[in-house]
Structure 1
Amino acid sequence: MKLDFKSLAFGYSLRNGNSTPAWETSLGQGKGYKLKEDNSINELVKGMIYKAVPSKSVSFKKGKGGAFVSGEDENSSLVIAAVFDQVYINEQQIYGGKFILLISKDDSKSHSGRLKLKYGPDNKYVCNGDVLQNQMFIDLVKKQMGMSSDACWFVSDISILEQDKLVLKTTIINPNSSEEYEDSQAHHQAWDIAESSDSIDESLKKEELDASIESWYKTGINETISRNRIFFGAPGTGKSFTLNKERKELLDDGADRNYERVTFHPDYSYANFVGTYKPVPTKGEDGKDSITYEYVPGPFMRVYVNALKSGKTVNPKPYLLIIEEINRANVAAVFGDVFQLLDRDNDYISDYAISTTNDMRSYLAQELNVDENLVETIKIPDNMFIWATMNSADQGVFPMDTAFKRRWEFSYIGIDDALEEMSDEIKGNKHTLGTGSNARYVKWNDLRSAINDVLSSESYNINEDKLLGPYFISKSILESKDNAEFIKVFKNKVLMYLFDDAAKQKRKTFFEKCKDEVKGVRYSDLCNQFDTKGVFIFPEEVSKRFTEKPTTEEAAEANEE
């Protein structure tokens, strides 16, 4: 449907005359203002019926500079309102763009009853608390088409395809700045020439699309926050806790949605992480189970696509990929060529692009609604964050080379950093270890600190990353008053870790009080003696710190639990 001249236009002025767009076009003229016999209008009306929304959910301005009226107001003269979520500027879809079309009936004395198609920037739609306005779409067009805020462009035709696709035939006069004309005649003549010559040639379209792709990479989000980051420290120091806390601060209102978490393990691969072409079960045309092949994205590619989609919007959001235990897999093999993307420039965009495979390219083009040639190479956008945790003290982990490490910012979580977050209830919670004359009251944090002090002394010289963090035992156990459960967990987690890992090389010395002259130190004997000896299975430097004894009744009660 042809629009009235300059009724949907931007970025121009007249030295002599009025340059304010009308933001509407009449659908019928002549006696009775009946609809024109025009196939484009028929398709327009059918599409608006198909995409109709309740009148009460829309509002708009009546006439130039008029006051806002609600669609449910009897004075609004609204006939129908529709919201389209598949909108195209010529052949390019505006991802995330939504456009509101209205048909109202003129109630002026001179044109009473005339139907008008209204598409002004002030058209507003509210649904479930979300506010949508055509001005938001206009801003999005400029962003995705690579135009400046005062660019000169206009829409000359509106059509609806398949009842749900809105196409705006657009001519861009000047993508970089506004234009000024002497008068309406000169204005009309210049734009007629531009439209008839289809001023946007293929090379310009490609330049604009290329610029659009680059604009998705640079959103300006949280410029001071590290993009590639690894949280590391001893077991139980709260690495995941700290990461999750900062995740909520980063993502804010998207904290529960805009991220994905993956845990690396020795068999994890590039195909798992990035994606691969693989068989997928489906239903055939006959309804029977069948197998097809398609590109299945991994967590990296899923977060990457969501970040790019968000970058195409007026209000982009940060997206976060969380990798737990990053060094438990062979990172060189898992990241593959994505490793190259981790180098970021001053704008936090990948310094170097990588080429996409055919199947990856096809997937990206489909997800982003762009031509495949625009995703022949990719970069990580500035709104994509990759954070990971690692424990360098774990046995059997894969080493990281220097080239991989230098692409990350390492955030060390100290052995006692999490104490600030630990409640007074946990810190003060007492447990009874040992029986009879060996029974002692013990607070978890005091025992942990005593063990750490001995392990890090010159006698043992154990690295800090092998010591015990405040949450080596889970928070739920530390909060519990169940003495028997605490003893069980202490044996199964703490004693096993000390025996098999932290004190492994000097277990005969560390557990000397449990050593048998013939058998040496066995884990089963260690657990059995812990039940009766409690803290006295440890070196004297540990046990001497615990002098508070429970009464006979309290000790008996604790052992009965």
Structure 2
Amino acid sequence: MSDVIQRIIFGSPGTGKSHLIKAEIIPYELDIDEKETPENVIKAVFHPEYTYGDFMGKLLPITKSGQVTYNFYEGHFLKALAQAYKNIIITHDKNGQKISEPDNVVLVIDEINRGNSSAIFGSIFQLLDRDNNGWSSYDTTINGVMFDRLLELIGCDYDFDSSGKIKKVTIKNSISENQEIEFSGKTLKDLNKKITFLNFDLVNKTIKIPPNLHIIATMNTSDNSIYHMDTAFKRRWEWQFVDANSNLVKENGIAFKTEKEWLNFVEKLNNFIKSNHNFIRGIEDKQIGKYFIRVENHQISYAIIQSKLMFFIWDSVFSRDKKPLIQLLYGKENYEQFKNELVTFGDFALKVKEFIKAIQEN
């Protein structure tokens, strides 16, 4: 199974972001054959009317023979989550022992910035932080109807006897089509211990995103109808920039070889940001913490500095005026001469090595 992908592909309209996902990331990075296993690719398009209910699920009325009933319809995220759990279930035997690796599932979100992402994700936002093993670092509670639908989608069912004790547990999507789990417990708490590999809590109705569920989104940087994405939301994603020529901007190599190098850089970057406070609104929110980028194997690549940190600096810190960045890279005395050198983010991203060196020497 591949490393967890939680990525936003961004750039101008018509630069091939969706094609990159379909032709490169899904088949090669995630090893998903969309023709063979279409159920492992769930697609959504955000727009101003798209809601948390569309994302997670909602009750809708149905009139039949003069009677009004309500059915729960799962949203794109709940459907993707259930499919990921199903793929995990079939990799475990009836005793809960892992026997193989689960297939990947991907939730593709087009135009993520055309919907109110904070409202759409709601409490799911908490799940976007991932541990090194790929599972969400934290869990979150979902309502009972939603949780019951999740269990139904993954084929998990359990019955109680007249005294309120669990008498049978069935997972329909296990290796045997309709397999009964060997279960000697009596309560939901006991059952939790039996299916710990699913990492959800039947008692408290909490869920986590599993490591085989990946989320990829596209974002148009020039869209005038976009919603604001707050810094906390942005931080939880890997970012990849596609320039106007449809080239994926990605510098090879390692920018910081040790965590100490990264921490020293963060301190100097924050000093640079504070020294240019006149150009910034909300100076406290515009500084970065050491966990803004996760250090992997004590190293940080140029590519992640380009796509995540430099985009944050460009789009959120110096969004109103790029003068401090031009002066940083070319010298204050040369501002007038070079003020047209940083017109687009693509211009800035290509100067990742110069940017790092300038901050370190500033």
Q: State the TM-score, normalizing by the size of structure 2.
A: 0.51
Aligned partner letter, 2:54: N
Residues 1:238 and 2:16 are matched in the alignment: yes
Provide the residue aligned with 1:342 in structure 2: 128
Match of 1:483 in 2: none
Q: Which amino acid in the other structure matches residue 2 of structure 2?
A: N
Q: Post-superposition shift, 1:458? A: 5.7
Letter in 2 for 1:239: K
Matches within 5 A, 1:292-331: 292-314=69-91, 315=100, 316-331=102-117
Q: Does residue 395 in structure 1 map to residue 175 in structure 2? A: no
Question: How far is the alpha carbon of 1:327 from its aligned partner?
Answer: 0.5
Q: Match of 1:263?
A: 45
8 Å Cα contact 2:32-2:104 kept in structure 1: no
Match of 2:302 in 1: none
Corresponding residue for 2:285? none
CA contact (8 A) 2:103 2:212 kept: yes
| SS of structure 2 residue aligned to 1:254 | coil
CA–CA distance in structure 2, aligned partners of residues 366 and 348 of structure 1: 24
**Which amino acid letter does the alignment assign opposite residue 45 of structure 2?**
T
Q: Distance in 1 between matches of 2:239 and 2:12?
A: 14
Name the counterpart of 1:154. none
Q: Identify which of 205, 228, 234 aligns with 1:405.
A: 234
2:33: which partner in 1? 254
Deviations along 1:178-201, one digit per CA (max 9) or x if unpaired, are xxxxxxxxxxxxxxxxxxxxxxxx
Instruction: Indicate conservation of the 8 Å contact 1:393/1:465, yes or no.
Output: no
Name the CA shift for 1:392/1:293 in 2 (closer, same or farther; >3 Å).
Answer: same
CA contact (8 A) 2:31 2:104 kept: no
Of 368-377 and 235-244, the range deviating more from structure 2: 368-377
Aligned to 1:159: none
Of all paired residues, the percent bearing the same amino acid is 37
CA shift for structure 1 position 234 = 1.7
Residue by residue, what CA displacement relative to the aligned partner does 1:365-417 show, whole Å, maximum 9, x if unpaired?
Answer: 32331457743110000000000000122102111111000100001112324
One-letter amino acid of the structure 2 residue matched with residue 388 of structure 1: A
In the TM superposition, what is the alpha-carbon distance from 1:248 to its structure 2 partner? 1.9
Structure 1 stretches of 4+ with a deviation exceeding 6 A read: none
Question: Could you say which residue in structure 1 is the equivalent of 2:5?
Answer: 227
**In 2: Cα distance, 1:462 partner to 1:366 partner:** 52
Aligned match of 1:380? 209
Please report how far the alpha carbon of residue 462 of structure 1 lies from its aligned counterpart in structure 2 after TM superposition.
Answer: 4.3
**2: CA distance, partners of 1:231 / 1:459:** 26
Name which of 352, 374, 381 aligns with 2:138: 352
One-letter amino acid matched to 2:13 = P
Instruction: Note if contact 2:2-2:30 (Cα within 8 Å) is conserved in structure 1.
Output: no
- Structure number with greater CO (CA < 8 Å, separation at least 6) is 2
Compared CA separation, residues 330 and 465, structure 1 to 2 (3 A): farther
CA deviation after TM superposition for structure 1 residue 309, in Å: 0.6
Instruction: Please state how far the C-alpha of 1:291 moved relative to its aligned partner.
Output: 3.3
Superposed CA deviations along residues 450-497 of structure 1, whole A, max 9, x for unmatched, are xxxxxxx9679743579xxxxxxxxxxxxxxxxxxxxxxxxxxxxxxx
- Write the mapping of 1:140-289 to structure 2, written as runs, cut at 5 A: 221-223=1-3, 226-245=4-23, 246-252=25-31, 254-256=33-35, 257=38, 258-280=40-62, 288=65
1:463 paired with 2:240, answer no
| CA 280–462 in structure 1, closer or farther in 2 if over 3 Å, else same | farther
Q: CA deviation at 1:239?
A: 0.9
| 1:228 Cα deviation after fit | 1.0
8 Å contact 2:26–2:32 — kept in the other structure?
no
Which whole-Å CA distance do the structure 1 matches of 2:46 and 2:119 have between them? Answer: 12
Cα distance in 1 for partners of 2:212, 2:240 equals 20
- Displacement of 1:277 in angstroms is 2.1
| Secondary structure of the structure 1 residue equivalent to 2:132 | coil
Give, in whole Å, the separation in 2 of the partners of 1:355 and 1:253.
30
2:162 counterpart residue number = none
Structure 1 residues 535-554: aligned runs within 5 Å: none
Measured in 2, the distance between the counterparts of 1:388 and 1:349 equals: 19
What is the identity, as a one-letter code, of the residue corresponding to 1:222? S
The SS at the match of 1:359 is: helix
Instruction: Quickly say closer, same or farther: Cα 1:462–1:289, change in 2 above 3 A.
Output: farther
Letter of the 2:48 counterpart: P
SS of 1:310's partner is: helix
Q: 1:250/1:380 Cα in 2 relative to 1: closer, same or farther (>3 Å)? A: same
Q: C-alpha distance in 2, partners of 1:289/1:384?
A: 41
User: Contact 1:234 / 1:464 at 8 angstroms: preserved in 2?
Assistant: no
Residue 252 of structure 1 and its aligned partner are, at CA, apart by 3.6
> Following the alignment from structure 1 to structure 2, what is the Cα–Cα distance between the partners of residues 243 and 262?
13
- Tell me if the contact between 1:274 and 1:301 (Cα under 8 Å) persists in the aligned partners: yes
Report the Cα distance in structure 2 between the residues aligned to 1:310 and 1:275, rounded to whole angstroms: 21
The number of residues matched between the two structures is 203
Q: Is the 8 A contact 2:139 2:208 kept in 1?
A: yes
Cα distance in 1, alignment partners of residues 229 and 18 from structure 2: 20
Q: 1:261 to 1:465 in 2, by over 3 A?
A: farther
SS of alignment partner, residue 311 of structure 1:
helix
The 5 Å alignment of 1:58-69 reads none
Are the counterparts in 2 of residues 239 and 389 from structure 1 also a CA contact under 8 Å? Answer: yes
1:364 CA displacement: 2.0
Q: 1:280 to 1:235 in 2, by over 3 A?
A: same
**Shift in Å, 1:363:** 1.2
TM-superposition CA deviations, 1:432-455 (whole Å, max 9, x none) = xxxxxxxxxxxxxxxxxxxxxxxx
SS of aligned partner of 1:303: helix
